[in-house]
Amino acid sequence: MGTISLINNETNEKFDFNIINCTRGPKAVDFSKLFETAGIFSYDPGYGSTAGCESTISYIDGKKGELLYKGHKVEELVAKYKFTDVCKLLINEELPKDEKESKEFDLELRHRSFLHEGLINLFSAFPDGAHPMATLSSGVSVLSTLYFDHKDMEDEDDYQTMARRIIAKIPTMVAFCYRNSVGAPFIYPDIQRSYVENFLYMLRAYPHGKLKQTIKGTEEITSLEIEALDKIFTLHADHGQNASTTTVRNVASTGVHPYAAIAAGISALWGPAHGGANEKVLKQLNEIGDVKNVDKFIDRAKDKNDPFRLMGFGHRVYKNYDPRAKVLKNLKDELDKKGIRMDHHLSEIAQKVEEVALSDEYFIERNLYPNVDFYSGIILTALKIPTQLFTPIFVIGRMPGWCAQLLEHIKNPHARITRPRQVYLGK
């Protein structure tokens, strides 16, 4: 194993630290004993150069713009598998071996998709117009009081039950949060419908369960809509140690109920710098309003004195085009051709923003490209998903990743309670 030498030029002391090998990407220097050995902390606010854990779940090549889940390229998974297959890959290491296994897993999730009636009272307690992310994180936290069994993450059966249960219930919870926020009656899951179709059904149907008349005036759910939303969920399924995943790991490291850790992750994802960006992108495209205004907004994004940032652009890891944004941009155009009409006005503005930004020195020298949030909102709008559900949709997609990351953290023998140090500047 190689080493890195550190010389403290103030004391002329020299310290050697081991280099940790990895299967892909940059290696790491093991600084876990830095303070004990050299009496000094490493300082890395935002952890831009710090690995807080070892992981085998997803890999991001920021330079190439590549994303793998368990070694499979995300583009291949989106093209060949359903989201529920990808959930199985993430929570128990392998894709379904055949159609039969795929259907069995999807059916198990349908049976687990119903909610404890007590939760329904919780949703009704929230005021109309409450943001679904607030209701959702509260609802998931309450799940920890309803399901106090199956929380021994050291027990594989307990873990599988915990993970399948919340992956199954989260679409129902999102649908209930939405229906409550618009004062509409709750629609229970229909186990005749597949995982993704059921979600759209619970959003749109009327109490008699028919789809003739729906809240957003939409017709029956089409297979194209189901396929589109399925791909969007897969594209969000996991993404290394982002802010919300790190939050889930940190909270899980204190030994808390897994659902309490996931509830914390939902709050972290809500932020506009993170998963909340998809909702903000749509608001921003509407604020830009016309392609002739794009230059003005690009100038604002570059102006250090203006807090305005181009939502859906930039990424801590990707210094190239986010592969998920590429898939979404193509999906947008493909769906439009197949009859799911995109908002051409917004789409035109988005493409103009991308074109101007990618040829502008400020964005080029900072490697700022569209990320997963830049095009997702245009597609979700075409699927008649209300804007306030964009980030909850991200939660549904990311749920299998959070479950896998949480387990990995707990089972890692090196994992300890997360407790960073500080550079003290006070009195």
| Residue 289, Ramachandran bin (φ over 0: left; ψ between -120 and 50: alpha; else beta) | left
- Minimum Å distance from CB 57 to ligand SDX? 13
* Mask for 285-304, x = binds ligand SDX (CB under 6 A): ----------------x---
Q: Is 315 a catalytic residue?
A: yes
Pick the catalytic residue from 230, 315, 322, 409.
315
Residue closer to ligand SDX (CB basis): 143 or 310: 310
Please tell me whether residue 372 binds ligand SDX under the rule CB under 6 A: yes
* Residue 121, CB-side half-sphere exposure with 13 Å CA sphere: 4
Residues 229-248, interacting with ligand SDX (CB under 6 A): 239-240, 242
Q: Is 16 a catalytic residue?
A: no
Q: How many H helices and E strands in the chain?
A: 18, 6
Residue closer to ligand SDX (CB basis): 171 or 314: 314
Q: Are 250 and 407 in contact (CB under 8 A)?
A: no
CA 69 to chain centre: 13
Please tell me whether residue 265 binds ligand SDX under the rule CB under 6 A: no
Q: How far apart are the C-alpha atoms of 379 and 326, rounded to whole Å? A: 13
Residues 32-51, interacting with ligand SDX (CB under 6 A): 46
**Across the beta sheet with 3-8, what order do the strands follow?**
3-8, 13-20, 28-29
Residues 315-354, interacting with ligand SDX (CB under 6 A): 315-317
Residue closer to ligand SDX (CB basis): 335 or 372: 372
- Minimum Å distance from CB 15 to ligand SDX? 30
- Minimum Å distance from CB 213 to ligand SDX? 36
Q: How far apart are the C-alpha atoms of 210 and 176, rounded to whole Å? A: 17
Going 212 to 214 to 218 to 221, the CA torsion angle's sign is: negative
Please tell me whether residue 371 binds ligand SDX under the rule CB under 6 A: yes
Please tell me whether residue 376 binds ligand SDX under the rule CB under 6 A: no
Please tell me whether residue 311 binds ligand SDX under the rule CB under 6 A: yes
Q: Are 242 and 331 in contact (CB under 8 A)?
A: no
Residue closer to ligand SDX (CB basis): 62 or 139: 62
* Residue 130, CB-side half-sphere exposure with 13 Å CA sphere: 20
User: Which of 231, 206, 209, 211 shows the shortest CA–CA distance to 221?
Assistant: 211
As to burial, measured by CB atoms within 10 angstroms (0-12 exposed, 13-18 middle, 19+ buried), residue 166 is buried
Position among 313, 369, 390, 402 found at the interface with ligand SDX (CB under 6 A):
313
Please tell me whether residue 377 binds ligand SDX under the rule CB under 6 A: no
Position among 189, 312, 377, 392 found at the interface with ligand SDX (CB under 6 A):
312
Cβ neighbours around 33 below 10 Å, total: 11
Residue closer to ligand SDX (CB basis): 19 or 273: 273
- Minimum Å distance from CB 75 to ligand SDX? 15
Binding site for ligand SDX (CB under 6 A): 46, 239-240, 242, 273-275, 277, 301, 309-317, 366, 368, 371-373
What is the set of active-site residues? 315, 373
